[in-house]
Chain A
Amino acid sequence: MIEENQLQQQFQLILEQHKGVFFKVAQTYCSNESDRQDLIQEIMIQVWKSLGKYNNKYAITTWLYRIAINVAISFYRKNKHVKLITNEINEQQVQHDESHLKEKEQQLLLLEQFINELNEFDKALMLLYLDQRPHSEIATILGISVSNVSTKTARIKEKLRNRFAQIKL
């Protein structure tokens, strides 16, 4: 009973202090609000179910990101057909909407489109890079080497730069 109460308190604390992790993952992996809500709910459930096994040799954010990304990738796989229908943003739309969107909003739209087109693992890498996680933590979350994180991050950033350069032309 005491253990159950402690778990509940820990869970509430995680929701208060680290809910940003859930929203960032949902923003990266889902393009519509309904899917984001479903994904956040599923992440919360899996965090609760895994809480009893938390090992404090890893930082809580590392542990949370692992669970959230694993859930998101599994969730994303189930809803992939929805992604194909809702992903209607294209480069022409970004260019022609100049009169309605400020440049910064355009850039954000383009970034979201770019992330949407990445594969599931590159999405995770991009999310963690944008959240300014150190390479060592990204490596621990994904389970790859630090040098591989650096190489892959550089490659994705280069692709992103080229995408922005194409729009400006």
Chain B
Amino acid sequence: MNENELILQWKTSADNLEKSMALSKQNAKEIMKLKTKDALSSLKPIKMWAVLIGIIWVIAVDAVIIHFWDVAPYPFLISALVQVIITKIAIGIYLYQLVLLQQVDISEPVISTQEKLLHLKISSLWVVRISFLQLPIWTTFYWNESMLSNGNWLLWIFQGAVTLLFILLTIWLFINITVRNSNKKWFRFVLNLKEWSPLIQAIDLLHQAEAYRMEDRSVV
């Protein structure tokens, strides 16, 4: 393998690519029309729709709570309140992280920039952890006075056990959905949705960036 020849061939290949894919002046004009400060402009349509649906959902639940405040059973009202508060917090954190991501200066050195971007992306794990906090209330919203006064002890034990199980599961998920468990099978199963696979890739890439950083310290 002749190193200089290889470098020359690579450069020739790059030059050929440049000739075959000329930069369009029209393209450049379209790009210059873009505003330089536009935090949410690159948000993908599907994510915009997800956020919009989330906002519509919280408005709808707020409306139901207000409308049925005087007549609905307390378990329903409390469950709905908890659910809507958790959803609002999750949406707020998600949007805040998106804005922070756009503000990262990508003209800074590659390793440190990627670490910042990746830490931000990974902090979206908070959205997952907080979203799971609402699990138990889906086992309590349908409770009512009739069920509590007319139901037998078997029903109370069964219902109590289900709710307790969900509470324990929620606590366990909240504690364990972290970067250090990212290589575990259950973690990848829980976060297997398409939305979250870039997150798993981000975690892998962060490990690479940290390895580069650690090697840098040991060489210096």
Chain A interfacial positions (CB closer than 8 Å to B): 7-8, 11-12, 15, 19-20, 22-24, 26-27, 33, 36-37, 40-41, 44-46, 48-54, 63, 66-67, 69-71, 73-74, 77-78, 80, 104, 107-108, 111, 119-121, 124, 130-132, 140-145, 147-148, 151-152, 157, 160-161, 164-165
- B39 to chain A minimum Cβ distance, whole angstroms, is 11
Is B23's CB under 8 angstroms from A108's CB? no
Instruction: Show 20 residue pairs from A and B whose CB-CB distance is below 8 angstroms, ordered by the A residue.
Output: A11-B28, A20-B14, A23-B14, A33-B21, A41-B27, A41-B31, A44-B27, A66-B109, A107-B1, A119-B208, A121-B114, A130-B7, A131-B11, A140-B109, A142-B111, A143-B108, A143-B113, A145-B220, A160-B1, A164-B1
Is A26's CB under 8 angstroms from B17's CB? yes
Extra inter-chain contacts (16) besides given A50-B107, A107-B1, A107-B6, CB under 8 Å: A20-B14, A27-B13, A36-B17, A41-B27, A48-B36, A49-B34, A52-B36, A67-B106, A67-B107, A70-B106, A74-B117, A132-B7, A145-B216, A148-B215, A148-B216, A151-B215
Is B14's CB under 8 angstroms from A24's CB? yes
B176 within 8 A of A: no
Is A120's CB under 8 angstroms from B208's CB? yes
Query: Which single residue of chain A is at the shortest CB-CB distance from B117?
Result: A74
What are the residues of chain A within 8 A of B212 when measuring CB–CB?
Answer: 121, 142, 144
What are the residues of chain B within 8 A of A164 when measuring CB–CB?
Answer: 1
Query: Which single residue of chain B is at the shortest CB-CB distance from A23?
Result: B18
The contact of B23 among A19, A45, A63, by CB within 8 Å, is A19
Docked complex Cα distance between A48 and B36 (Å): 7
Docked complex Cα distance between A80 and B6 (Å): 27
Docked complex Cα distance between A70 and B1 (Å): 31
Chain B interfacial positions (CB closer than 8 Å to A): 1, 3, 5-7, 9-11, 13-15, 17-18, 21, 23, 27-28, 31-32, 34, 36, 105-114, 117, 198, 201-202, 205, 208-209, 212-213, 215-216, 219-220
Docked complex Cα distance between A156 and B122 (Å): 29
What are the residues of chain B within 8 A of A52 when measuring CB–CB?
Answer: 36
- In terms of DSSP, what is the predominant structure of the interface of chain B? helix
Is A157's CB under 8 angstroms from B3's CB? yes
- In terms of DSSP, what is the predominant structure of the interface of chain A? helix
Is B1's CB under 8 angstroms from A142's CB? no
Is B11's CB under 8 angstroms from A130's CB? yes
Query: Which single residue of chain B is at the shortest CB-CB distance from A163?
Result: B1
- B3 to chain A minimum Cβ distance, whole angstroms, is 7
Is A104's CB under 8 angstroms from B5's CB? yes
Docked complex Cα distance between A54 and B202 (Å): 27
Known A48-B31, A144-B111, A164-B1; contact A20-B18, beta-carbon cutoff 8 A:
yes
Known A73-B110, A73-B114; contact A148-B219, beta-carbon cutoff 8 A:
yes
Is B106's CB under 8 angstroms from A66's CB? yes
Docked complex Cα distance between A140 and B109 (Å): 7
Known A15-B23, A121-B212, A157-B3; contact A66-B28, beta-carbon cutoff 8 A:
no
- A113 to chain B minimum Cβ distance, whole angstroms, is 13
Query: Which single residue of chain A is at the shortest CB-CB distance from B15?
Result: A20
- B19 to chain A minimum Cβ distance, whole angstroms, is 9
- A109 to chain B minimum Cβ distance, whole angstroms, is 10
